């Protein structure tokens, strides 16, 4: 499989997953005079839909940014990418649970666990590329990975705390997930492209020298 087919397949999975989210947003089947009191009942569905839409969108943006720097792919990378897409395509399920059961413990636990596994599989995919720099243009390297550790640890630490909080305060737990999402949106807006670490340029002994020191 060439790189273009992998990108097309991945984009298709992201598109389907993000489209499936809307299927649980349904108009209440009531008379018009009851509409005012019935609409607030779908607010949990709308909130979970909006959050998951943005979550999947951010995963897609990051996926696009690092696959754009690939020169070629191999079989292990394909399997890691499939594993990541497996988790992404699962996102509509916990989203549906959140909407139906109004942010109760079990749906929030499943949602948080899905977020952590999605982060893990995405990180493992990028880690694999950094260990096989011949796959990329050289900019997704070990130095780049080191710049990602603080954010990865911070995000998943909050997710882990929120996961524990969900056992006794699921609404607070969901608010913590939403807070992390807000932070990631701000970070994505500030960074126009994936942060990369350029390979160090050789130094020269003089302006006319062609030999690095």
Q: How far is CA 133 from CA 55, 128, 193, in A?
A: 28, 9, 19
- What is the model's pLDDT at position 42? 85
Q: Is residue 7 part of a domain?
A: yes
- What is the model's pLDDT at position 28? 75
Total domains, the chain? 1
Q: Is residue 85 part of a domain?
A: yes
Instruction: Band the pLDDT of 201: cuts 50, 70, 90.
Output: very low
Q: Is residue 203 part of a domain?
A: no
Q: Is residue 206 part of a domain?
A: no
Q: Is residue 146 part of a domain?
A: yes
Instruction: Band the pLDDT of 1: cuts 50, 70, 90.
Output: low
Between 191 and 38, the higher pLDDT residue:
38
Give the long-range contacts of residues 19-25, CB within 8 A, separation 24 or more.
20/92, 21/49, 21/52, 21/53, 21/56, 21/91, 21/92, 21/95, 22/49, 23/92, 24/49, 24/92, 24/95, 24/96, 24/99, 24/100, 25/49, 25/99
What range does the domain containing 160 cover?
A: 3-190
- What is the model's pLDDT at position 202? 42
- What is the model's pLDDT at position 192? 53
Instruction: In whole angstroms, give the CA distance from residue 167 to residue 123.
Output: 27
Q: Is residue 96 part of a domain?
A: yes
Task: Point out the least confidently predicted range of 143-147, 185-189, 207-211.
Answer: 207-211
Q: Is residue 9 part of a domain?
A: yes
């Amino acid at each position: 499989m060439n790189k273009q087919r992998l990108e097309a397949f991945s984009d298709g999975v992201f598109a389907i997953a993000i489209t499936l989210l809307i299927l649980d947003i349904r108009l209440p089947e009531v008379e018009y005079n009851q509409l005012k009191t019935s609409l607030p009942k779908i607010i949990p569905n709308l909130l979970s839909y909006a959050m998951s839409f943005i979550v999947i969108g951010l995963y897609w943006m990051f996926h696009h940014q690092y696959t754009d720097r690939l020169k070629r792919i191999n079989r292990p990378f394909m399997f890691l990418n499939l594993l990541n897409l497996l988790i992404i395509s699962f996102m509509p399920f916990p989203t549906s649970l959140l909407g139906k059961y109004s942010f109760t413990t079990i749906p929030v636990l499943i949602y948080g666990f899905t977020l952590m596994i999605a982060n893990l599989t995405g990180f493992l995919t990028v880690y694999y590329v950094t260990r096989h720099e011949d796959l990329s243009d050289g900019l997704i390297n070990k130095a780049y990975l080191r710049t990602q550790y603080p954010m990865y640890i911070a995000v998943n630490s909050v997710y882990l705390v929120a996961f524990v909080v969900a056992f006794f305060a699921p609404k607070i737990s969901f608010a913590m997930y939403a807070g992390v999402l807000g932070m990631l949106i701000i970070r994505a807006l500030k960074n126009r492209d994936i942060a990369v670490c350029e390979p160090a340029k050789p130094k020269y002994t003089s302006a006319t020298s062609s030999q690095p020191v």
